[in-house]
Chains A and B, each alone.
Chain A
Amino acid sequence: MEARIGLRNTKSILFKSLIIFLAFVITIPLIIVLLYIIKQGVTQVNWHFLTKIPAPVGEAGGGIANALLGSFIIVAAASVIAIPIGMLAGIYLSENGRTRLAYYAGLCVDVLQGVPSIVIGIVVYFWLVKPMGTFSAISGSIALAIMMLPIVIRATEQTLLLLPPSLKEAALSLGVPYHRVILKVVVPCGFAGILSGITLSIARIIGETAPLLFTAFGNPYLSTSLSKPMETLPHVIFTYATSPYDDWHNLAWGASFILLLFVLILNIFTKLLTRKWKIQL
């Protein structure tokens, strides 16, 4: 009997060791990738790299200024589109959760969250690029905005659902109209939670390449026009990584490092926001 118990205990300890081993071993690939990118990329980054546009093939020098500016513009435009729509839809869902519209809209949010990003690129190509006759930054922004929506909507909805109903009641009983109650009391109180959804969605889309392949396309020159093609960080990594030139490979490492940096900073910022809000609750 005691031998049986001993065996069972041993099994339990072995199992725990296996679990711990597997759980931590899987962090190794990530660490390897991060370290490699940092090692290859950090040496590429200098003032020149950040402020010059790519040089023609064979010429030394050149940088990713066009991609940096392009990413900034396209992400900003996508945010301008997605944030208001996402917040308002999230407000509707949190306030009217039991209606049929809320049910189907919620279903649509789930669907949008699962759509492969390349499919969104295809669709926006037919909605905007073909009618406009040209690749354009705005079409890229719209594709990215569609990807941002589910995250912003869910963050807004869940944040507002966590707020106590007494907040709304207090404001309404003072004779404040509904829209001011939502916009001046409820949303400000949920600000951190909503903002964390926004930063999370931005972190998600600045690294997205697939939806930009047939929308924003790419552009070797600095451009600020929304109706022309525009270069972005992830796309320039794709182009240079798959090229046969070592120079361009180096640029791609540098760009990867910068992109990784942005993504990391945004994710850390999001984590700090959610932590702060939990404390306030």
Chain B
Amino acid sequence: MENTVVSAEHINAYYGDNHAIKDVNIKINRNEVIAMMGPSGCGKTTFLRCINRMHELIPNARAEGVMKLDGEDVYKMNVIYVRYKIGMVFQRPNPFPNLSIYENVIAGYLLNGIKISKSDKDFIVEKSLTSAALWNEVKDSLHKKGTFLSGGQQQRLCIARAIAMEPEVILFDEPTSALDPISTSSVEALFHELKAKYTLIIVTHNMQQAARVSDKTAFFYVGELVEFDDTKTMFTSPKDTRTQNYITGRFS
């Protein structure tokens, strides 16, 4: 199996006339944690959403170039299938309020009308919640709605929901920026566990988080991918002055 799971070639993204992503090329390897950082408005979230074609939800948004998942261009594939293969966790935890915790985890199957046996369902729910380090906390209230959960627990529920689909890649859009510090560390602890089975791409506005959790880091600035390197190297001896300025706090 080839080691590159996501490969972006000459990706340009536009919101109407606004050229938001300028000629980004990046190869992401399997089972690594990749952090994407940069100041507000640098395009990191836009680029993340271009990977699973969620940018298409915004009218006037379009992306050009080739985005390969396992060698196939996602812009030419069936978009429903693409989003099934790539999971996403959002900034604000968004479990479905009308479904129980149990149903939330297997929502990807339920909402698609995919029939699985009760024992399979139970298995998937337990496995996903365990991988998301949430099983012990909710195993006795699986059939309640998830609204009583704390922010960190809700976010881990969303992670379990994404994992239940067995995606190749999981995208995280500033997953801890709406959480308190304790919840943040519980989520960050997961990244290390999850990378054994999945590839994680995490957009973060928190440099320290990028340094803590990732194997490689990408630095975006004004729509360009300025630098992409091993995290250790990036933070100790960055190659581009812009990266250096960002790391040392010249611009936020």
Interface residues of A, Cβ cutoff 8 Å to B: 98, 164, 166-177, 180-181, 184-185, 188-189, 191, 280
Our pick among A169, A175, A177, A280 for the contact of B90 (Cβ within 8 Å) is A169
Interface size class of B (residues with CB under 8 A): 20 to 34
B161 surroundings in chain A (CB, below 8 A): 170, 174
User: B84's closest neighbor in chain A, by CB?
Assistant: A175
Contact (Cβ within 8 A) B90 A174: no
- Given contacts A98-B59, A174-B108, is CB(A166)–CB(B81) below 8 Å? no
Contact (Cβ within 8 A) A184 B111: yes
- 10 A-B pairs closest in CB distance: A175-B84, A173-B88, A174-B108, A166-B94, A175-B83, A170-B94, A176-B111, A188-B98, A184-B111, A177-B80
User: B86's closest neighbor in chain A, by CB?
Assistant: A173
Contact (Cβ within 8 A) B107 A171: yes
Contact (Cβ within 8 A) B108 A176: yes
Bound Cα distance from A174 to B99, whole angstroms? 15
Contact (Cβ within 8 A) B52 A173: yes
What are 19 sample pairs from A and B whose C-beta atoms fall under 8 A apart? A164-B94, A166-B92, A167-B96, A170-B95, A171-B111, A172-B54, A172-B83, A173-B83, A173-B87, A173-B90, A174-B108, A175-B84, A177-B80, A180-B111, A180-B113, A181-B111, A185-B96, A188-B98, A189-B97
B90 surroundings in chain A (CB, below 8 A): 166, 169-170, 173
B92 surroundings in chain A (CB, below 8 A): 166
Bound Cα distance from A177 to B81, whole angstroms? 10
B97 surroundings in chain A (CB, below 8 A): 167, 189, 280
Interface residues of B in 99-134 (CB under 8 A from A): 107-108, 111-113
> Is residue B187 within 8 Å, beta carbon to beta carbon, of the partner chain?
no
Contact (Cβ within 8 A) B54 A169: yes
Bound Cα distance from A227 to B165, whole angstroms? 53
Contact (Cβ within 8 A) B158 A174: no
Our pick among B57, B84, B98, B113 for the contact of A174 (Cβ within 8 Å) is B84
Contact (Cβ within 8 A) A189 B111: no
A98 surroundings in chain B (CB, below 8 A): 59
> Is residue B162 within 8 Å, beta carbon to beta carbon, of the partner chain?
yes
User: A280's closest neighbor in chain B, by CB?
Assistant: B97
Bound Cα distance from A172 to B49, whole angstroms? 12
Contact (Cβ within 8 A) B108 A172: no
Q: Tell me whether chain A's interface is mostly helix, strand or loop, or mixed.
A: helix
Given contacts A176-B108, A189-B96, list 20 more A-B pairs with CB under 8 A. A164-B94, A167-B96, A168-B57, A169-B57, A170-B158, A171-B107, A173-B87, A174-B83, A174-B84, A174-B107, A174-B108, A174-B162, A175-B83, A175-B85, A175-B112, A175-B165, A177-B80, A185-B111, A191-B98, A280-B97
- B52, B90, B94, B165: most-surrounded residue (chain A CB, <10 A): B94
- B112, B113, B161: most-surrounded residue (chain A CB, <10 A): B112
- Closest Cβ of chain B to A195, distance in Å, is 14
User: B164's closest neighbor in chain A, by CB?
Assistant: A174
- Closest Cβ of chain B to A206, distance in Å, is 30
A280 surroundings in chain B (CB, below 8 A): 97
Q: Mark B73-87, 1 if CB is under 8 A from A, else 0.
A: 000000011111101
Q: Mark B182-221, 1 if CB is under 8 A from A, else 0.
A: 0000000000000000000000000000000000000000
Bound Cα distance from A223 to B111, whole angstroms? 43
Q: Mark B155-171, 1 if CB is under 8 A from A, else 0.
A: 00010011001000000
B88 surroundings in chain A (CB, below 8 A): 169, 173
A174 surroundings in chain B (CB, below 8 A): 83-84, 87, 107-108, 111, 161-162, 165
Contact (Cβ within 8 A) B96 A170: yes
Contact (Cβ within 8 A) A167 B113: no
B84 surroundings in chain A (CB, below 8 A): 174-175
Bound Cα distance from A98 to B162, whole angstroms? 32
A173 surroundings in chain B (CB, below 8 A): 52, 54, 83, 87-88, 90, 162
Bound Cα distance from A177 to B84, whole angstroms? 10
B107 surroundings in chain A (CB, below 8 A): 171, 174
- Given contacts A169-B57, A169-B94, is CB(A180)–CB(B52) below 8 Å? no
B96 surroundings in chain A (CB, below 8 A): 167, 170-171, 185, 189
Contact (Cβ within 8 A) B54 A175: no
User: A163's closest neighbor in chain B, by CB?
Assistant: B97
A177 surroundings in chain B (CB, below 8 A): 80, 112
A175 surroundings in chain B (CB, below 8 A): 80-85, 108, 112, 165
Bound Cα distance from A166 to B54, whole angstroms? 12
Contact (Cβ within 8 A) A189 B80: no
User: A174's closest neighbor in chain B, by CB?
Assistant: B108
B112 surroundings in chain A (CB, below 8 A): 175-177, 180
B98 surroundings in chain A (CB, below 8 A): 185, 188-189, 191
- A98, A167, A174: most-surrounded residue (chain B CB, <10 A): A174
- Closest Cβ of chain A to B10, distance in Å, is 25
A172 surroundings in chain B (CB, below 8 A): 54, 57, 83
